[in-house]
Amino acid sequence: MLNEGVDGALGNEELGSTVLRDLAWLVATPDLVELPPPIPCGGRPTIKELGLEQALLPWLRQLGRPPLIALNGSRATRMGHYHERLWHTLLDHAPNTRLLARNVRITRQRNTLGELDMLYRTCDNPAPVHLEVAIKFYLGLPEGPGDLKSQSRWIGPGGLDSLALKCTHLRRHQLPLSTTAPALKTLSHWLTPRDLDVSDRRLVEQLTQRLAMPGVLYYPWHASMPAPEGATADHRRGTWCYCRDWPALIARFPSMPRLVWLEKPHWLASPPLSAFRPAAELLPAIIDRVQAWRSPQQVMLYCPEEEHYKRLFLVPNDWPHQVPLPPSAR
């Protein structure tokens, strides 16, 4: 289990709002993977591009003053929706960016081809940027489809999704969508004056594509496993273990850590230390939940001796109940 200490470094204790802590986490957290060519896709908006390189904490404090922040995390229970709303807030209020549009529907003859997550621009460049976002939490399988570094071995807690499926969908559909003729027609009023006769190629040249895919990869406690193919060197890491292995895992700690159960959608920043309780106090209820729901549950541990946070998924002893098939080759 590796250090989650960046949360504390961003002033976790002084940011009283969960939403503000999650925004800080979002700015600081690297993407999970880099997509290979031929997709000409840039990475996430950087802290410098956002204009927050020297003033992230003051900006977050200012953002927390009503009515500037219009985001209530408790009303968004789906992780994807909550994550998108964080990006909307970030891009629309950061000093150097402005949100132009979100969830832009692309249609052809009344048939919906898909949606572009969001368009934004920087203050010094009017050309729009197409940003696709995804937040993912994948657990690695020491035994599974493909070779040891295969992205197909990294699956979601429910076993319905995999890193391989997500990356393939991004490469084949989500990112190329903005360069199709129906998309360029929809986006033309942002790309060039409408009365100019320019080719689709010229329009594509004006449009920048970006991808933000933060999250955490959870490595198995009971087995050694390499990072998946394409993983960024500094991606966030956690650990997963079977409920039966908890006693052996906890015996490795110098003393009993404090613990908090992470409830969706707030799987991002660590809660304040006041939310943590002795592991022995909370663990029975969490294990009961794992067994009753037959689903993995995420907790965060705080180790006073090491002064950092550790992410952990506790999973049923017979997990996974299903493993997605690898994406089809084409």
Specify the DSSP element, H or E, that contains 127: strand 125-133
Max Cα separation, the chain? 71
Tens digit of pLDDT for each residue in 174-217? 988 988 889 888 888 777 654 444 455 565 677 888 999 999 99
Residue 325 lies in a domain: no
What tens digit of pLDDT does each residue of 265-294 get?
989 999 998 999 999 899 999 999 999 999
The reported pLDDT for the residue numbered 2 is 32
Residues of the domain holding 56: 6-315
pLDDT of residue 66: 58
Angle at 102 between CA 101 and CA 103, to 5 degrees: 135
Position 57 in a domain: yes
Task: Output the pLDDT for position 289.
Answer: 93
Instruction: Provide the number of structural domains found in the chain.
Output: 1
pLDDT digits (tens, 9 = 90+) for 9-66: 344 556 778 889 999 999 999 999 998 765 656 788 999 999 999 889 899 988 876 5
- Nearest residue to 157 via CA among 325, 323, 288: 323
The reply to whether 328 falls in a domain is no
Q: Looking at the domain assignment, is residue 323 inside a domain?
A: no
What's the pLDDT at 48? 93
Assess contact for 177 and 183: CB atoms under 8 A.
yes
Q: What is the mean pLDDT of residues 292-319?
A: 91
Number of helices and strands (H, E) in the chain?
10, 12
d(CA 176, CA 153): 26
3-class DSSP assignment, residue 314:
strand
Banded pLDDT at 75 (limits 50, 70, 90): low
Among 33, 20, 299, 244, CA closest to 150: 33
**What is the C-alpha separation between 31 and 24, in angstroms, rounded?**
15
Asked if the model's pLDDT at residue 76 lies above 50, the reply is yes
Residue 5 has pLDDT above 50, yes or no: no
How many other CB atoms sit within 10 Å of the CB of residue 17? 15
Residues 132-172: tens digit of each pLDDT: 999 999 999 999 999 999 999 999 999 999 999 999 999 98
Q: How many CB atoms lie within 10 A of CB 39?
A: 14
Residue 1 lies in a domain: no
Mean pLDDT (the chain) is: 86
The reply to whether 327 falls in a domain is: no
pLDDT band at 306 (very low <50, low <70, confident <90, very high): confident
The per-residue pLDDT for range 96-111, each reduced to its tens digit, is: 999 999 999 999 888 8
Region 104-133: mean pLDDT is 91
**The predicted structure's pLDDT at residue 192:** 60
For 63, list phi and psi in degrees, rounded to 5: -65, -30
Residue 159 lies in a domain: yes
Has residue 330 been placed in a domain?
Answer: no
3-state DSSP assignment of residue 165: helix
